[in-house]
Homo-oligomer: A and B are copies of this chain.
Amino acid sequence: MSNPISAGLWVFASSAEKFSYDAELSVREQIKAAAQVEGLEGLELIAPTHVTVDNVKEIKALLEEVRLRPVSVNPNLWTDDKWQYGALTAPDEKIRREAIETAKRAIDIGHELGTRRMCLWPGQDGFDYPFQANYDLLWEWTLEAIREIAEYDPKTQIGYEYKSKEPRTHMLVGNAAKAALIGELLGLKNVGAYLDFGHALMGRENPAESVALLARCQRLMGVHINDCYGLWDDDITVAAVHLPQVFEFLLTLRQVGYEDWISLDLVPVREDIVEACRLSVRYIQSMQARLDKLYADEGKTKALQAAQSSLQALESQEIIRELIFG
């Protein structure tokens, strides 16, 4: 009942030896690198960075060749100069139009690849300074754009990857509830949140609570995993910093019945990328094994449920301590 593990293909953009952030490898080489990570079963792709209407068949064949399944197709709305003041919220209507069309193409490509999921990250949508923005307009543009994208194909799950900051000092959609609220305000079932573990921490959320809230609203569209120190999107390896919170995150995903992908979203600056992914997979698997052990013991499982339902922290802490160290 463990979640299958995937990764964002962008994780493999740089070769292991390279300190700088520039992509060095071809898409083919990146997919080959991903295929070296034991336990990895799927990939998130970015359009048009990795996959386009033109090369989609080639990419599909390549994925099949290395036995990695497509998880999502995510429109690139952040790296190009044209998005510098925003994509869905660009002040220039033409740029907003381009952003919407880019997202629709990602949906088209998803159809070809065989996935109906999008991680939507308009990474420049927000502001840096007090007094800089007309916030009401930013919200209006965001809602309009997402309506058009989501209605383009009601079967594609649109998960807004919320994040409180970086690269802007303030991103517009900075927490799980904002992403869920967009779905509610639009009244569209296929709009929700893409929950990134580190982003949840940056928004001062407890990631497990965000899982529960989003699952309750049926707006948990996808999951990224990594770790950070809560101040910035460090994207370091899983459980390096927030080990108990990752463990609780995986437990809560089980509790709410989320059986879908968990995608690694790491940015190892000085480390070997394939090794960083392997380490992260092993950490997840170590914890999943501990959870299997917990669930195999009905008494322990019920004791934990009872402690959680009555908010008895010491009892649940002791169960977890035994599970980890016992």
Write the residues of chain A forming the contact surface with B, with a CB cutoff of 8 angstroms: 18-20, 81, 84-86, 91, 127-137, 139-140, 164-167, 169-170, 172, 174-175, 177-178, 180-181, 184-185, 202-206, 208-209, 211-213, 215-217, 228-232, 234, 236-237, 239-245, 247-248, 251-252, 255-256, 269-272, 275-276, 279, 282-283, 286-287, 289-290, 304-305, 307-314, 316-321, 324-325
Instruction: List the B side residues contacting A255 at CB < 8 Å.
Output: 136
In angstroms, Cα B272 to Cα A240, docked, is 30
Instruction: List the B side residues contacting A177 at CB < 8 Å.
Output: 175, 177-178, 180-181
Which of A174, A177, A317 is most buried by chain B, counting CB atoms within 10 A of its CB? A317
Q: A181-B184, A248-B131 are in contact. Are A91 and B216 (CB under 8 A)?
A: no
Instruction: List the B side residues contacting A311 at CB < 8 Å.
Output: 85-86, 91, 127, 132-133
Q: Are B135 and A236 in contact (CB under 8 A)?
A: no
Could you say which of B180, B211, B245, B290 contacts A130, with CB atoms under 8 Å apart? Answer: B245
In angstroms, Cα B34 to Cα A52, docked, is 43
Q: Are A206 and B170 in contact (CB under 8 A)?
A: yes
Q: A91-B311, A308-B133, A316-B129 are in contact. Are A164 and B236 (CB under 8 A)?
A: no
Copies of this protein chain in the complex: 4
Instruction: List the B side residues contacting A230 at CB < 8 Å.
Output: 230
What are 6 inter-chain pairs, A to B, with CB distance below 8 A?
A130-B247, A130-B248, A132-B316, A135-B209, A137-B309, A177-B181
In angstroms, Cα B325 to Cα A198, docked, is 23
In angstroms, Cα B252 to Cα A304, docked, is 33
Q: A244-B243, A256-B136 are in contact. Are A237 and B314 (CB under 8 A)?
A: yes
In angstroms, Cα B324 to Cα A325, docked, is 7
Closest to A172 in B: B209
Instruction: List the B side residues contacting A211 at CB < 8 Å.
Output: 135
Instruction: List the B side residues contacting A170 at CB < 8 Å.
Output: 206, 209
Min CB distance, A221 to chain B, in Å?
Answer: 16
Instruction: List the B side residues contacting A256 at CB < 8 Å.
Output: 136
List 6 other contacts, CB 8 Å, given A132-B307, A170-B209, A180-B181. A84-B269, A85-B311, A131-B251, A131-B317, A166-B232, A175-B177
